[in-house]
Amino acid sequence: MERRGLVREFFKREGVDYLDFFIPVKSEKLILEDFSRELRAKLRYSPRFETFSEMFEYLEVADVEAVFFDEFQNVLRVNPAIAFDLQRFIDRNRDKPLLIILSGSYLGMMRKLLTSRKAPLYGRSTLFIELQPLRPRWVFEMLKDLGITEPVQQVEFYGIFGGIPKYYELLEVFEAGNPPDLIVDAVRYSTLLTAEGEGLLIDEFGKAYRTYFSILDAIASGKNRLVEIANAVGMKPGSITKYLEALEDYYGIITRERPLLGGRRSRYVISDYFLNFWFSLIEPNRRQVEAGDFNAFRRNLEGKFPEFFGRVFERVVLDLLHDLNGELITFDSIGPHWGRNYEIDLVAINREENIATFIETKWKTNVDGPREIGRLIAKAQNAPWRGEKRYLLIARGFRRECADCITIDGVLEHLKP
């Protein structure tokens, strides 16, 4: 259920009558006309409003239990003074039994309005909820309801869209059994995928979006370390740090990874599934889409998709293992580990039992299990772990299986709601 639906479901279950106000990016006058229609529908009467301040004054005397403002961050583009009007309304009515819910799509912009010390609404919120993406087990249940029952396809869709229900609505519009077919149809007949990535950045970052865009583009292309990213965007490492910190801590789009078992060399990855996909496979081919050459777009997409998903599969497995902690394996912490001359996809640490499980992921169907386990054991000898070592190889399919091998189908058999 998407964010707006969650709020409506909350009001429905609590039996609360509420005013439902949506704030689009259009003139303040037109928005207020929309609000007047909502007031007439719910309260049977509404005066004409010239400003938001006038509307808030009316709400002070109206018989209202709750007010829901959706996409509230858009006030920054319509008229930033609206936030101050709401601030004064809240301050004047602190003792009034009125519930106000502000909802928005863009985390950075909502924080700018609510959580920054300079924000007009700072200190006025009783509760700030950062709605997290759905976990894999719930995404896979949703995919089953949408007719996607093949485990491989479920994993691929999750690796593209993550846990954001909005993108899965495309499956209700376009009949597609696999991600490449859906992506081609979506970019041919809809602007959601082609415009979404850049649109998100423009809305979130404003005038600085080109710098953030260049940084994310560099990370998606495989430039994951600070110096590599700085060189790619033509900036000094010291100057780019503040942008990387904002992308990680403020916007929640990237993650700074460090070797799980210790080490000084960190790297940056795009943790937002959709933006990672968009920068990897949509943005590089936008000219073909804009030119209407969808055959060329399909060829590029299908040609690059296996390599792209080979990188993403590690992250998907990480999410799945978090859902299966205590079932498939048990751990206190999990993440990638690497050293000077080796890299291990994931290491799961069970400190109580002093066990480290070293995990290799392969998005291939003809994996030689015994050989890959041998390579994993050799790499694990370099890792600074003195306790017991175990090994796990997760792949799409095997040419030769082994005791420590499991297919992705086998992993998903453990995944139950």
Instruction: Check which CATH number belongs to the domain holding 335 and give it.
Output: 3.40.1350
Do 161 and 177 belong to one domain? yes
In a domain, 125, yes or no: no
What was the pLDDT predicted at 367? 96
Listed residue (243, 354, 157, 7) closest to 232, CA to CA: 243
In a domain, 171, yes or no: yes
pLDDT in tens, 78-136: 898 999 999 999 999 888 889 999 998 777 778 888 888 888 888 888 888 888 889 99
Torsion of CA 100, 106, 108, 114, to 10 degrees: -10
In a domain, 388, yes or no: yes
Phi, psi of 127 (to 5 degrees): -150, 135
User: How many CB atoms sit inside 10 A of residue 387's CB?
Assistant: 11
- Cβ atoms of 164 and 252 closer than 8 Å: no
Do 102 and 244 belong to one domain? no
What was the pLDDT predicted at 214? 93
Do 105 and 158 belong to one domain? no
In a domain, 57, yes or no: yes
Beta strand segments in 223-352, E? 254-257, 267-270, 333-338, 343-350
Do 263 and 337 belong to one domain? no
In a domain, 119, yes or no: no
Do 16 and 48 belong to one domain? yes
Work out whether strand 398-400 and strand 388-395 pair parallel, antiparallel, or are unpaired. unpaired
In a domain, 130, yes or no: no
* Average pLDDT, rounded, for the chain: 90
Collect the ranges in the chain with pLDDT lower than 70: 1-2, 200, 416-417
Q: Which two tokens stand for residue 130?
A: 């950062």
In a domain, 253, yes or no: yes
Q: Which two tokens stand for residue 277?
A: 């996909």
Do 154 and 303 belong to one domain? yes
What was the pLDDT predicted at 1? 46
What was the pLDDT predicted at 126? 85
**Which residue, chain included where needed, has tokens 């495989």?**
222
Q: How far is CA 221 from CA 136, 246, 265, 340, in A?
A: 26, 20, 19, 21
Total number of domains constituting the chain: 4
H/E stretch holding 374:
helix 369-380
What was the pLDDT predicted at 22? 92
Do 163 and 242 belong to one domain? no
In a domain, 48, yes or no: yes
What are the helix (H) ranges across 62-100?
75-78, 81-92
Do 307 and 355 belong to one domain? no
Which one-letter amino acid corresponds to residue 212? Y
What was the pLDDT predicted at 129? 84
Domain residues for 310?
Answer: 136-190+293-318
What was the pLDDT predicted at 364? 93
Q: Which two tokens stand for residue 209?
A: 């979006």
Question: CA 66 from chain center: how many Å?
Answer: 29
Contacts of 323 (CB under 8 A, 6+ apart): 135, 136, 137, 415
Range 115-120 contact pairs with CB under 8 angstroms and sequence separation of 24 or more: 119/83, 120/80, 120/83, 120/84, 120/86, 120/87
